[in-house]
Structure formats: C-alpha cells, structure tokens
Amino acid sequence: MWAMWMTRVSYAINGESTEFNPVYLQSYLGAIGWKKELVSLVQDHLETSGEGISQVFADERLGGIQNALEKLGMLYLGEEIIEQEACGSTSMSQLLAKFHLYHWLYDCVACLDAIACLLNSKYKIESPRKVAMNKPFIELLAKESESLSRLIEKNYDWMQELKRMRDKVIHRESPLITGGGAGPSLFMDFERMFDPSLDLNRVDAPKMVQEYTQKIDWIVTEILRAVMDL
C-alpha cells in the first residue's frame, strides 16, 4: 500500500579512484580527490621514519583533521546535490532542494565547529564551554596564536551570518524556495530570514552555496596547514 507513494531519487555523484589515504577517512573529499598533494603532505608529516602508517593513527591530531575534512566533504556533496535539484534533475526538486539546503546549512556550522576542534587538538585550549567557533574560543586562541586568531576574526562576520541562517531555519522560519522564470533556477529568501520586515529579496541559492563552501574550504586549508606546521 505504501509502496505506491514512494519516489525513488537518483543523484549522479562525482567520484574518482584515489589512492587510500587515512587522512581522508570516509570524507567525500577523498572521492573527488580534494587537494591530494596537501593531504599527502599531511600524511607524510604525521608519519615518522621507521614507523610508517601506524604512526599516522597514533597521532592525536588525526581525529581532528578527519573530522574537519568529513564535514567539509558534506558541504561539497550538498553543493553538488543542490545544483542537480536547481536544474530539475529529479521529480521532487522543490522539496528535495529545501531538504538538502537545510542540511547544507547544518553542515556549515558543524564544519566551523570542527575547525575549532582541530585547533584545540593542537593548542589544547581550556575552554569553559564546549569547543565551538565562537568569541570565547577565539579569545582563548589568541593566547596561543595571535595570527590564527586574527585570521578567524577577519572572517567571523560571514561565519556568524551562516549561523544566523541556520538558527532561523531550525527555530523560526521555513524559508521560501521557488523556481524562477522559464529556465531551471532555484532561489531562496535569505534576506527575509534576517529581517522579516524587508521585501522579498531572492538570492540564487546554488551560487550562494558555492561561495560559502569556498570560504569554508579556504579556512579549513589555512587551519590545516597551521596545525601541521606546513
């Protein structure tokens, strides 16, 4: 009876055959070969002569690195799927676009917090709260690395913007997502999420997702290099 209401959805997910590297773990970044040279450098740096790959797993920084790359991989996977929904690749594009866009927002904040955890794996910052990308953590980080603290401070506004969007989705509003015009497109009413009194201001969601994913990618890369002293 219920089978008649079920809809099968199929996504064409990019992937390539890549050599095993424990730094990727199960991250989607491994499937797309994200910055293979950098990841190989990280693996080499975690190894010590004579002990090889076993030393990689013995290094306590590995968990923080894998966690950050796992979360970043989710952003890239979400970007890919949202782009397919925007182009009408499935018969449920509106519903699924909202589903994946919501989860992309959740994963953005999760990735930012994973970056804080990665920094904590190196500096062992004694935070009175749980480790997360917030002002108290950044202030404590400044005592260990002023350069990294300044780097995060310079990018903190857009990080907070993502958190506000995520919080609105979770707690307050169900943002409007519609198709626009005759061609395939996807728009989301993010401006109204910030100020309900504003007139509807549509923003191209796939473009927005790509821009924020690239910003987080850059932060992850910079922090990864710093944590590994590369």
Does 69 map to a domain? yes
Is the pLDDT confidence value at 5 over 80? no
What would the pLDDT profile of 122-131 be if each residue is shown by its tens digit?
A: 888 876 668 8
Does 213 map to a domain? yes
Does 201 map to a domain? no
Percentage of the chain beyond pLDDT 70 is 73
CA–chain centroid gap for 95, Å, is 22
What would the pLDDT profile of 130-163 be if each residue is shown by its tens digit?
A: 889 999 999 999 999 999 999 999 999 999 999 9
Is the pLDDT confidence value at 188 over 50? yes
In this prediction, residue 203 has a pLDDT band, given cuts at 50, 70 and 90, of low
Does 175 map to a domain? no
Number of separate domains in the chain: 1
Q: What value does the mean pLDDT of the chain take?
A: 81
The mean pLDDT of 31-60, rounded to a whole number, is: 79
pTM of the model: 0.84
Does 56 map to a domain? yes
Q: Which domain range does residue 83 map to?
A: 15-170+206-227
Q: Are 193 and 202 in contact (CB under 8 A)?
A: no
Does 72 map to a domain? yes
Does 155 map to a domain? yes
CA–chain centroid gap for 137, Å, is 19
The mean pLDDT of 87-103, rounded to a whole number, is: 76
Q: What is the pLDDT of residue 110?
A: 96
Is the pLDDT confidence value at 53 over 90? no
Q: What is the pLDDT of residue 165?
A: 86
Query: Measuring CA to CA, which residue among 102, 98, 130, 128 is closest to residue 116?
Result: 130
Does 184 map to a domain? no
Is the pLDDT confidence value at 219 over 90? yes
What lies within 8 Å, CB to CB, of 85 at 6+ separation is 93, 96, 97, 100, 186
